[in-house]
Structure 1
Amino acid sequence: MTASDGVRLSVHIDGREDGPTVVLVHGYPDNSSMWGGVAAELTAKHRVVTYDVRGAGQSDKPSGRASYRLDQLADDLRAVVEAVQPTGKVHLVAHDWGSIQTWHAVTGDGLRGRVASYTSISGPSLDHAGAWFRAQLTRPTPKRLKNALSQFLHSWYILAFQFPLVPDVLWRTGLLGKQIQRMEPDAAPPDKSDGLHGLQLYRANMFTRLSRPAPKPADVPVQVLAPTGDAYVTTPLQTEVARWVPDLRIRRVVGTHWVTRAKPAVVARAAAELIEYAETGAESRGLRRSRVGAGRFAHKLVVVTGAGSGIGRATALAFAAEGADVVITDIDPATAAETLKLLEDHGVAEYTVDSSDGEAVHRFAREVRENHGVPDIVVNNAGIGMSGPFLDTSVEDWERVIDVNLWGVIHGCRAFAPMLAERAEGGQIVNLASAAAYLPSKILTAYATTKSAVLTLSVCLRAELAEHHIGVTAVCPGIVKTNITNTTTFVGVSEEEQRRRQKESSKLYARRGFGPEGVARDILRAVEKDTAIAPSTPEAKAALVLSRLTPGLLRAAAKLDLTP
């Protein structure tokens, strides 16, 4: 097709003729082939349009700088939309410079009334960016100055591209293309011609727009996919646009600048969710939780195991009070059903699951994914108490406490962590350890061993999952008034003595006066701050400090017999 100034644009259409029309706009130094993976994911349900922007691929490559101004680029997009769909609305998905020119189009008049939704990846409106920079520098705070400096450092190449000859020579010799691939392994080998002609995008627009911004609002549903490891566009620059976009969703996607190539299924899924919402009004949980202003846990999907009572129930209720949708499990179906009733509208479902049964936990995780989606937060809480001397602890006792307290956490992590990593939008795993993990006692050998293992597992897993932006928190409560004392096994004593010790322990914990609601508050705070180790209760916090400063003192105290 031919643009308004006579430049010929190469346009390709694929997919279902009766599906919603999606126009994919590539960036620099790419051409439309960059969308291959995303387009393949979308064609089953959508009519997919790709085109080479002027200066790239099979489209004409005008030499004059004026041919690459944003007004002309936006008019090219308008012409493509009118050619492929003369009436009705289309959906736009754009990356990098494709996003920059698409922002210009959706905030202008040329496509007014023709756009149903817009998904932007790694590219801001230059007018919004100029206003953003002014806000960081004219109303400075340490955070704003840090954000501005970070973006300046990410944008070093913009100034370099303004110089005559040097960047052109670097493209012709292939050095610049090789440098891009070294920095971004997910980028395809760039075409020299695309790189050379695309330099005009920077020379025609950058300084004029950034120095004299005229930001305009977007009146369409917008979704910003911000790669967590973008080497060129920082997350604040991409996402702090709410003042100009009333209907805005922000999703942080784990990946680099070319996440469109590396994770096409992730990009296509997010885009398809916004398209479905614009077409039918059906809003996925992913869209609801990413809506700007929704609240810290609003519409997040939270899984809590062992939620029939105590800390598990309190945690489920605390998340629900913050707007989260909660799925719960317990080995006791009656108590799980009671918790679900207390959750009211925020209780999604309850399942009867034995956390020590790996097959059952994995089956539960698959059902959650199929019926409710991938959770945002997983709380592995199920646990039992055990007290008594090592010499009186049988193999069966060891197997039971390890199966529930340690294997239950391992099963939960193994079942859900791969889902969170595959979704590539981060998440949080919370594992309930105990202050006993770092506060040794001769009467808690088996219990403390399992909780120490949970703490170490959590710290190691946190390091492993960091690249997926999945946080792992070990919560370490101290003395908390819960039902665990009524069910704790005291080894090496008669049934009558065991009941007496359970009763006395319950009285002691009740006098302490720290309820499970306090632990739940600490869990929510730890999730919000992505805390690695979160002691709960004053004695747990004090013991953690002492374990680091005076470990010998705690080893000496471990010899005390605190049996009730």
Structure 2
Amino acid sequence: MQSFMRFENKVVVITGAGSGIGAAAARRFASEGAIVVLADWDKTAAEKVASSLPEKRTLVIGVDVSDVTSVRAMFDRVVEQFGKVDVLINNAGVHATGSVLDSSLEDWERISAIDINGVVYCSKFALPHLLKSKGCIVNTASVSGLGGDWGAAYYCAAKGAVSNLTRAMALDHGGAGVRVNAVCPSLVKTNMTANFPEAVNQKFNERIPLGRAAEPEEVAAVMAFLASEDASFVNGVNIPVDGGVTASDGQPKIA
């Protein structure tokens, strides 16, 4: 655990906190003194993560980020209980494979509802409180939002929207003291990627210069940096946390 306490008594709301990057973020912020709100549609999973965190500094809320009423109620409860919001981590997300031609419209509706609408809804209801606290937002985008992937059209579209929404909100609210940034992971060891065939994992390992997938904790560490005063002049960036994938111009390795 960390020896510094950058978030002591700060209220940090994390969506998708029941697993993967969100769970790692909850543990990281708690280790640095934060009051952590673990928000997830799977409340049982979030409660399991919360069971290892300080009870008096932890709140679990079941929320559907694609449902505006659910999101509004979440922030009402957080502010009623803690009086403020200091950090919003927009991490909840889903993935779907396929091209526009062969993916279903139901897939698009699900991806856009969670990966785009969820970020908008949470940001909209958090911002009035973040403006008061001079807080910040950290979004989970993706390298798939910085460039295209084969066979993941809807996911790329959604994460591209998150990346550019990050920039736009940074422009709109930076002058009022609210910074907005995003992390853009490549392959991360989460439930979302756990069932990838070994051949797929091998292709990723060959493509990632560091030769492996990221651990969720490695992404959470960058989130914590972006949310901290250490990043006080960082605003509107989409930081690749990708082991060097986006360092390439796309040409093949020949030596």
| Cα displacement (A) at 1:503 | 4.2
SS of equivalent to 2:240:
strand
Change (3 A) 1:391 1:335: same
Which residue type is aligned with residue 197 of structure 2?
E
Which residue of structure 1 aligns with residue 241 of structure 2? 536
Asked if residue 373 in structure 1 is aligned to residue 73 in structure 2, the reply is no
Change (3 A) 1:438 1:367: same
Residues 303 and 378 in structure 1, CA contact (< 8 A), matched pair in contact too: yes
SS of the residue aligned with 1:414? helix
Kindly state the Cα deviation for residue 507 of structure 1 after the two structures are TM-superposed: 7.2
Task: Sort the Cα spacing of 1:505 and 1:304 in 2 relative to 1 into closer, same or farther, 3 A.
Answer: farther
Provide TM-score, normalisation by structure 1.
0.40
Give the distance between the partners of 1:301 and 1:383, measured in 2 at CA. Answer: 22
Runs of 5+ consecutive residues of structure 1 not aligned to the other structure: 1-293, 487-501, 558-564
Rounded Cα–Cα distance in structure 2 between residues aligned with 1:457 and 1:503: 29
Give SS of 2:157's match: helix
Query: Which residue is 1:442 aligned to?
Result: 150
Q: Distance in 2 between matches of 1:516 and 1:331?
A: 19
Q: Is the 8 A contact 1:314 1:517 kept in 2?
A: yes
Structure 2: 5+ residue runs without aligned partners? Answer: 206-211
Amino acid at match of 1:477: P
8 Å Cα contact 2:5/2:31 also seen in 1: no
Q: 1:455 aligns with which of 144, 159, 163?
A: 163
Residues 165-224 of structure 1: per-residue CA shift (max 9 Å, x gap) = xxxxxxxxxxxxxxxxxxxxxxxxxxxxxxxxxxxxxxxxxxxxxxxxxxxxxxxxxxxx
Q: Give the corresponding residue for 1:302.
A: 12
* Structural mapping, 1:47-66, within 5 Å: none
Tell me what 2:224 maps to.
524
Q: Measure, in 2, the Cα distance between the counterparts of 1:475 and 1:514.
A: 13
**CA displacement at 1:327 relative to structure 2:** 0.7
Alignment correspondent of 1:129: none
Identify the residue that residue 184 of structure 1 maps to in structure 2: none
CA contact 2:142–2:183 (8 Å) conserved in 1? yes
In 1, the alpha carbon distance for the partners of 2:20 and 2:110 equals 20
Cα deviation code 1:54-83 (max 9, x no counterpart): xxxxxxxxxxxxxxxxxxxxxxxxxxxxxx
1:508 maps to which of 201, 209, 234: 201
Q: Distance in 1 between matches of 2:179 and 2:213?
A: 31
Give me the whole-angstrom Cα distance separating, in 1, the residues matched to 2:89 and 2:56: 16
In 2: Cα distance, 1:527 partner to 1:431 partner:
10
Deviation of 1:383 after TM superposition, in Å, equals 0.3
> What is the match of residue 208 of structure 2?
none
- The correspondence of residues 385-396 of structure 1 with structure 2, limited to 5 A, is 385-396=95-106
CA distances 1:425-469 after superposition (whole Å, capped 9, x unpaired): 310111110011112122111101000000000100001001210
Could you tell me how far apart the structure 2 residues matched to 1:435 and 1:503 are?
Answer: 18
Paired letter, 1:515: E
Secondary structure of residue in 1 paired with 2:64:
coil
Secondary structure at 1:448's aligned position in 2?
A: helix
Q: Does 1:477 align with 2:185?
A: yes
In structure 2, relative to structure 1, the CA distance for the partners of 1:346 and 1:314 (3 Å cut) is farther
In the TM superposition, 1:282-301 aligns within 5 A as 295-301=5-11
Given that 1:519 and 1:537 are in contact with CA atoms closer than 8 Å, whether structure 2 keeps it comes out as no
Q: Whole-Å Cα distance in 2 between the matches of residues 408 and 380 of structure 1?
A: 8
Among 391, 408, 417, the residue aligned to 2:118 = 408
Q: Which amino acid aligns with 1:434?
A: S
Give 1 or 2: higher helix fraction.
1
Give the conservation status (yes or no) of the 8 Å contact 1:427–1:470: yes
Percent identity over the alignment is: 33
Q: Which amino acid aligns with 2:217?
A: E
Q: What displacement does 1:375 show?
A: 1.2
Runs of 4+ in 1 over 3 A off after TM superposition: none
Spell out the pairing of 1:112-511 with structure 2 (5 A cutoff): 295-345=5-55, 347-421=57-131, 423=132, 425-486=133-194, 502-504=195-197, 508=201
- Give yes or no for contact 2:87–2:130 (8 Å, CA) kept in 1: no
Q: In the superposition, relative to structure 1, how do residues 345 and 333 fare at CA in structure 2: closer, same or farther (>3 Å)?
A: closer
Contact preservation (8 Å) 1:312, 1:381: yes
In 2, Cα distance between equivalents of 1:368 and 1:506:
44
* TM-score in terms of structure 2 length: 0.86
Higher relative contact order (CA 8 A, sep 6+): 2
Q: Does the Cα contact within 8 Å between 1:476 and 1:536 map onto a contact in 2?
A: yes
Aligned residues: 237
Q: What residue identity is the alignment partner of 1:447?
A: Y
The answer as to whether partners of 2:65 and 2:121 remain within 8 angstroms in 1 is yes
Which of 1 and 2 has greater Rg?
Answer: 1
Letter in 1 for 2:201: L
Q: Distance in 1 between matches of 2:56 and 2:191?
A: 24
Q: Once the two structures are superposed, what CA deviation does each residue of 1:297-340 show, in whole Å capped at 9, x if it has no partner?
A: 11111110110010000001000111111011111121011011
Instruction: Show the 5 A alignment for 1:89-104.
Output: none
2:209 corresponds to = none
